[in-house]
Each structure stands twice: as C-alpha cells, then as structure tokens.
Amino acid sequence: MTGPITRPDTVVGGLCRGGELVIVGKSVSLSRSQAASLAEVLKPGPPHHPWPDEVSSSRFGSSRDKVKLTKVEPSIVAEVLADSALQAGVWRHPLRFVRHRPDLTPADLPSLDP
C-alpha cells in the first residue's frame, strides 16, 4: 500500500507466482471510508517482506519518480474491480478497491503458478 498504515492512500495488489508474492497492480485513491475500514485490519509487514521499499510513481512503469511502499503483513484479501488488460501479468489500468474480505485468507486464492 501507499500512505501511512493508519490512513492508506492506495492498495498495492499482490498474488503468488512461482511461490513468491509479486506486485500485480495498484488501486486508485481510496475514499476516506475505504481507508478507515482497511486501516482497522492492517498490520505492519515483517522485516523480510519481499517487496521493494519504493516503486515507480507511474503505476510501476518507467517513471523516475518513486513512491514509498508501506509494507504490511500479506494476510488481508481484498476484493477489487479490474479490467482484463494485462501486460506481463500486471494489470495495465488501476484497480478499484471494493472491500477487504475477512471471510477469505490468501491460502483460499488461486496461485498464478503454471
């Protein structure tokens, strides 16, 4: 995610690929109510979190400007809306966060492994 853990700005989506957690998209800005509901369930990420400290500001493209990631425990499942446009396994357009899914765990989701 981006922004402080107490008031997230965007969600950074990840899925398992080859047994590794990889970044596959970023959401549009969260509304105040979305950020508040998500902040209630987020936990700081472990020291060995697999993601980088910063990513490109242009939805992970080639921009030289960087955005700091707030690494959180990868234990929350989020429902998002996404279009079908993928490029190298990453959504080309921003995701739209709908809600977190307390009824699901990451183990309930399909892997992107071949």
Q: Can you tell me which residue has the tokens 């993601």? A: 51
For residue 96, pLDDT over 80 is answered with: yes
93 and 83 Cβ atoms separated by less than 8 Å: yes
Q: Is residue 41 part of a domain?
A: yes
Q: Tell me, what's the pLDDT at 7?
A: 96
Q: Is residue 2 part of a domain?
A: no
Q: Is residue 43 part of a domain?
A: yes
Q: Is residue 85 part of a domain?
A: yes
**Which structural domain range is residue 17 located in?**
12-108
Q: How many CB atoms lie within 10 A of CB 5?
A: 15
Q: Is residue 76 part of a domain?
A: yes
Tens digits of residue pLDDT in 24-54: 888 999 999 999 999 999 999 988 888 888 8
Number of domains in the chain: 1
Q: Is residue 20 part of a domain?
A: yes
